[in-house]
Amino acid sequence: MLDAIYARDDNLVFRRIGDEVILVPIRSGTANLEAIFTINETGATIWELLDGERTLSEIRDALTNEYEVTAEAAQADLVEFIGMLEGIEGVRRVG
């Protein structure tokens, strides 16, 4: 799975508002305000790295460099976050 490459879905908007980071689904030109997702700083970093070019192992390595976390913990968080994003159709696998 770590050789997979994901890209952000264009139907989700990422915004920093104050100290919070949110993902808002946009469908048919309107926001679904009942489906706003608040994510933590690690989730925001992952979201920004999901550029359709980096593998999940490269993103895991970036997390271990950015935060004081083991590769195992970074991988577990990454896989969980990707699963959540897949569940809300926030990412698509491109490789």
CA pair distance 82, 90, nearest whole angstrom: 9
For the entire predicted model, the pTM comes to 0.85
Cβ count near 37 (within 10 Å): 16
CA pair distance 19, 12, nearest whole angstrom: 19
pLDDT of residue 30: 54
For residue 67, what pLDDT band results from cuts at 50, 70 and 90? very high
Q: Quick one: how far is CA 12 from the chain centroid? A: 11
9 pLDDT higher than 70: yes
**pLDDT for 11-65, tens place per residue?**
888 888 887 889 888 865 555 556 788 999 899 999 999 999 999 999 999 999 9
pLDDT of residue 86: 92
CA pair distance 43, 84, nearest whole angstrom: 11
